[in-house]
Amino acid sequence: MLDLKIRPYSVTDNEEALALEARCVQGKTLALRFRRPTFHGRSEIYEHYRIYCAKHNGSLVGIIAGALKTVQLHGESVTAAYVYDLRVHPGCRGQGVAKRLTNVLLEEIGSRAECLYTFIHGENEKALGLACRNFGAEAVIPLSYAVIPVYRRLAEAELSEYRKPLQIHQAYLEANSGIEFRAPFEDWKLNGHVVSLALNREKSAGCSVWSNENVLAEEVVRIPASFRLMSALSAPLRLFLNLPSIPRPGEVIRSWFLFDLYAESKKSLSGLFVAVGNFALANGRTYLYLLLQKDDPQLDWIRQVCRRTFTFPYYFLAKGRSIPKPGDHLYIDVRDL
């Protein structure tokens, strides 16, 4: 076991934390790492958060963060603690660093929470197994991370208009009764908000758009072999046709997240995606992301409407005195992504 000193993070740890982040690759077939101006910037979108560092011989070898929030669950207000940004130096893994960090963080914020939760990329099998062991998950809910390419402008059959994010949120809740794990919606917390759009037909379809570009940008480390082949084969055609962008190693993905998405039908969803896709394209985006539960019927609509969509497995893990049930329809807080 390593001789570790666990202590609270300070801004003087920023450079070491960013260097550690660069060594921690996420994903398997599509491997990414995060690039951010400061390590602590992501946490500042929460009102109550803690970050802890693990030091060995004076060097930072691990880091973890957690934030407290209030959510509505099964008719009650529940204090939930979101655990995120766990990073361990590759040369120090398997030596108890993650476990020690997790224990210290949970001693600090876990005692005040009735529910502890986190998200894990399903392709990262080691991280998933480690999280299940260290975290002691009592609820595991499968999700699908949809990645939608944006590469050509389409004719808009239906008009769309800008809305306030609260209007979209309220329409989303009306269209999705029984949503659980919902935090209070406050516009001032949405510092990554880009735009909110809805089709003109009342309550037909709408969504809000979020950007992590200035907080947690994604740099490509490795792409699947199929992507490399596709890129090579399509290169001559790109002189004449608009084709989906295939990211290259070292490239920062120009992406936006969609949240509070609702649609009354597949047709209205198609009209919304045309409007959002055109807006994204005009602003230099190449991909739209959306995180849904694996059994969400809208996922099938999205695959039919956006035929080039591909998905990755994701998981919501939770434990505590008050946790979601397997059949619950969860609200995904875009700040957590």
Q: 29: pLDDT confidence band, cut at 50, 70 and 90?
A: low
Q: Between 297-305 and 266-282, two packed helices, what is the crossing angle to 10 degrees?
A: 60
If you average pLDDT over residues 1-8, what whole number do you get?
89
> For 195-240, how does the pLDDT look when each residue is reduced to its tens digit (9 = 90+)?
999 998 767 999 999 999 988 888 877 665 554 433 433 334 333 3
Mean per-residue pLDDT of the chain: 87
| Closest to 46 (Cα-Cα) out of 60, 61, 66, 27 | 66
Query: Which alpha helices (H) appear in 179-305, and where do they start and end?
Result: 225-234, 266-282, 297-305
User: How many beta carbons lie within 10 A of that of residue 6, not counting itself?
Assistant: 16
pTM: 0.88
Rounded Cα gap, residues 217 and 146, in angstroms: 17
**pLDDT at residue 44 tops 70:** yes
If you average pLDDT over residues 83-102, what whole number do you get?
92
Rounded Cα gap, residues 116 and 86, in angstroms: 14
Handedness of CA 281, 286, 292, 295 (dihedral sign): positive
**pLDDT at residue 304 tops 80:** yes
CATH number of 5-143: 3.40.630.30
Out of 56-60, 159-163, 309-313, the most confident range is 56-60
Q: Which residue has the higher pLDDT, 227 or 295?
A: 295
Q: Where are the domains of the chain?
A: 5-143, 146-213+229-313
* Under 8 Å between Cβ of 165 and 330: no
pLDDT for 43 equals 96
Placement of tokens 């224990």 in the chain? 103
Instruction: Say if strands 76-88 and 115-121 run parallel, antiparallel, or are unpaired.
Output: parallel
**pLDDT at residue 131 tops 60:** yes
Look up residue 252 and give its two tokens: 């920062």
Report the percent of the chain where pLDDT is more than 90. Answer: 62
Q: Between 97-109 and 125-135, two packed helices, what is the crossing angle to 10 degrees?
A: 50
Q: Alpha carbon 298 to chain centroid distance?
A: 18
> For 320-329, how does the pLDDT look when each residue is reduced to its tens digit (9 = 90+)?
999 999 899 9
pLDDT for 300 equals 92
Same fold, 5-143 and 146-213+229-313: yes
| Closest to 96 (Cα-Cα) out of 69, 56, 144, 125 | 56
Look up residue 245 and give its two tokens: 């962008």
Q: Which CATH superfamily is domain 146-213+229-313 in?
A: Gcn5-related N-acetyltransferase (GNAT) (3.40.630.30)
Q: Alpha carbon 265 to chain centroid distance?
A: 25
